[in-house]
Every structure is written in C-alpha cells, then in structure tokens.
Structure 1
Amino acid sequence: MPFDRYGVLAGTLHEHFRDTPDDEGAWFHVNLRVDAPDGRYKCAVDVDSHDSDTGVQWKVFTVDAAALGPVAALAPGYHELARTPGSGALDYIRHPALRRRWNRPGWLPAPLGELLDRLLGSSPPWTSGSNLEAATAFEPILTVGRSILVFGEPFDTGLGVHNVHQNQGDAYGSQWWPENGIWQDGATMTRRPDGRYDVFLNKFSGQKDHTDAAGHPV
C-alpha cells in the first residue's frame, strides 16, 4: 500500500553534506538540514541503489513557481499533502511540470531547446551514473540560505523527511512493491532569486517510467 503519510517540508536550507561511504555502505545519501519554525529537520536524499551498478537516475531543471500549484505559497513547516492532482503532491509520470512531453532533437541549439522546454512544460531526459555523479549534479542547487521544498515521507519520530525519490514503479517481488503509489513522489526544490525553482528529481534505475493507477509498473 502507499505511504501512510506524505507531504512537503518548506523551510530554509541550513547545510548539506554527503554520507561517508565507509560508514554508510551502499545506501549513499546527500543529507540536508532544513530550518523551519518547529526546529531543524533532517532530510536524506537517496543517490545510490543496491540494485544497479549505475546507481540512480536523476534530472535537474528549473520550473516557474506557478507550475507547482499551492505548495510554492506554503508557510515554513511540514505540510501533509493529499495524493491527488492539484494538491501540490508530485508524480514524476503525471505532473505536467515534471513529466517529459517531447524529445529535444540533438541538432536544436541549446538556448532554443531550453526555451521550448519551458514553454512546453517539459523536463529533460534522465541521466544515469554513479552516486558521486548524482551528488555532484545535485549540489549546485543547494545554496545555503535558500528557501527549499523537500517532498517525501516524514519520519515516524523526530523532525525529518525521507523517501525523497520516486515512490512508484518498483518491480513485483521487490521489497518496495507494497509502497508503490501515485502522487507521492519525493523531490528537492530550491527557490532562485528570480522566484523560480531549481528541481532535483531522482529515482532508482530499476523503477519504471510507466505505472498503473496503483503505481505499479506496466
């Protein structure tokens, strides 16, 4: 079944740091410390996978605040989100601002391609690589002092958010199959000085890009 709870933390980025591989093994994260009125939250963003030598897949892009719906205007703190379109919840496959609608031709000049991406509401293709490559791609948007949105599942105890990654499309028989669900994907977004949001999406390489109404792969 999907997560019991899902939501978004709105706050200010205090710091970020990587796990030490020798201490954490294959479960490698970029850790965030986020300040909100009720305290400092711990957020663990997965950038590694047990199931693949290529680690995770990720994409980094920028969206207008209006494309995110009501979450861009939320007050600092943790907020529960309904697993429905329009609530502010995320779904990599179904959300208009996150899904990939078109394939940019290789011959298209980059500035024109970026303009069309923005006009069409299309996110870039997935990049595959190692945990270090994923962390290196993620960290440039993690400017200390920026407003930040972290989507995922809240900790059972204490202040924190985890499962900050795609939360659907896991294969039948995997330990994560029971947690598949739509409109409950995790992500990290930081607010730029121009009011737009830099977005980091991440998923495990074994997760599929097409799912049914239960979030299971099709």
Structure 2
Amino acid sequence: MPFDHYGVLVGTLYRHYRDEPDDQGRWFHVNLEVDAPLGRYHCAVDVDSHKSNVGVRWKSFTVDARALGPVAGFGAGYHELDSTAFSGALDYLRHPELVDHAGVLFERRPPSWLRELLELLGSRPWEAGSNVDAAAALEAVLVPGQRVLVYGEPFTDDPEGDLGMHNVHQNQGDPVGSQWWPENGIWQDGATLARRDDGRYDVFLNRFSSQAATTDPDGHPV
C-alpha cells in the first residue's frame, strides 16, 4: 500500500555530506541536515551507484515558486501532504512541471546534439552515471543557509527518536516481486529542492533504474 505518511520538510540547510564508501553493499546517500522548529532533521537522498543492480538516475532543473502550489507558502517544519494533484504533492510522471513527455523516449543520456533539441522542446532527459556523478549533481544546488524543501516519508520508527526524512526519490513504478512493490503509489514522490536568490527553486529528482517511467493509477508499472 502507499505510504501512511508523506509530506515535505521546509527548513534551512545546515550542512550536507556523503556516506563513507564501503564494501558491505549498503546504498550510498548524500545526507542533508536541515534545521526546522522541532530541531535538526537528517534527510537521506539516494544516489546509488549506476553500477549496482538498481542504479540511480537523476535530473536537475529550475522552476518558479508558483509551480510548487501551496508548498511555496509553507512555513518551516514538516507538513503532511495528501497524495493528490492539488495538495502540493509531487509525482514525477503526472505533475505538469516535472513530467517529461519527450525525455521518456530515452532511458539513457542522449547525444549532445539531441539534448540541445530536447531542451528547446522543454524536455529534461534523465542523467545516468556513477554515484559520484549523481552526488555531485545534487551538491551543485546545495548551499548551507538556504531554504530547502525535502519531499518524502518522515521517520516514524527511529529507535532513537531522531527527526528525519527518507524515501527521497521516486516512489512508484517498482516491479512485481520487488520488496518495494507494496509501497508503490502516485503523488508521493520524493525530491530535493533549494531556493535560489531570485526566488525560483532548483529541483533534484532521482529514481532507480528498475522503476518504470509509466504507471497505473495505483503507481504500479505498465
């Protein structure tokens, strides 16, 4: 079933850092520490290696604040969002500012000449590369002290009671038989956004290569 809790954390970025590399098969993250009224939140953003069986893909671009709907006016703190098109929730495949009608034709990075043409058409193709490439793309939009929005699932069962956000990635389209199939759902995707000085927001989206780019009303792949 979809998440019981989904929402957006609004706060001020304190710092960010990468997981230490290891050989234990643990997934690689860029970790954000975000200050909000209840305290400092730990937000884990998946930037897993493209070499793994479920490598990550990403894209980054800029949108006007109005594209975020009511979320643009939220104060600092965690805000629960209904998984609907009007709550401020995100859906990579349905939100008018996130969907990429031309880019879905390409599962890998297109050649440079084609990228230029797609950009003229408003397309935002997915990038593919190593975990270092993905981490660098996210870090490029992060500046300590700036306002950030982190969409995903809040920690609810942390044994130490720490504040945080996880599932900061696409949360639909996982294949039949995967451990994440039951969590598929629409309008519950995670993302990382950072406010620019001009009031617009830099957006970083990330999804696993095993996740479908087309889903049914339950978020399952089609």
TM-score by length of 1: 0.90
The AA in structure 2 aligned to 1:190 is A
Q: 1:159 aligns with which of 163, 166, 171?
A: 163
Decide whether aligned partners of structure 1 residues 192 and 24 sit closer, same or farther in structure 2, where only a CA change above 3 A counts.
farther
Post-superposition shift, 1:53?
4.9
Contact residue 6 and residue 81 of structure 1 kept, 8 A: yes
Aligned to 1:141: 141
- After TM superposition, the structure 1 stretch with the greater mean CA deviation from structure 2, 93-102 or 5-14, is 93-102
Distance in structure 2 (CA, Å) of the matches to 1:202 and 1:193: 24
Distance in structure 2 (CA, Å) of the matches to 1:135 and 1:78: 24
In the alignment, is residue 74 of structure 1 matched against residue 85 of structure 2? no
Aligned to 2:190: 186
Distance in structure 1 (CA, Å) of the matches to 2:187 and 2:4: 13
**Aligned length, in residue pairs:** 212
Post-superposition shift, 1:86?
1.4
In the alignment, is residue 100 of structure 1 matched against residue 104 of structure 2? no
CA RMSD across the alignment:
2.3
The AA in structure 2 aligned to 1:198 is D
Distance in structure 2 (CA, Å) of the matches to 1:209 and 1:134: 19
Post-superposition shift, 1:102?
3.4
The AA in structure 1 aligned to 2:191 is A
Kindly report which structure 2 residues correspond to 1:24-173, keeping only aligned pairs within 5 A, or say none: 25-48=25-48, 52-53=52-53, 55-102=55-102, 107=113, 117=122, 122=123, 124-156=124-156, 157-173=161-177
Distance in structure 2 (CA, Å) of the matches to 1:51 and 1:161: 25
Contact residue 14 and residue 145 of structure 1 kept, 8 A: yes
Post-superposition shift, 1:38?
1.1
Decide whether aligned partners of structure 1 residues 49 and 82 sit closer, same or farther in structure 2, where only a CA change above 3 A counts.
farther
Secondary structure in structure 2 of the residue aligned to 1:32: strand
Decide whether aligned partners of structure 1 residues 149 and 109 sit closer, same or farther in structure 2, where only a CA change above 3 A counts.
closer
Secondary structure in structure 2 of the residue aligned to 1:171: coil
TM-score by length of 2: 0.88
Aligned to 1:198: 202
Distance in structure 1 (CA, Å) of the matches to 2:192 and 2:48: 16
Gap regions ≥5 residues in structure 2: 104-109
Distance in structure 2 (CA, Å) of the matches to 1:114 and 1:162: 31
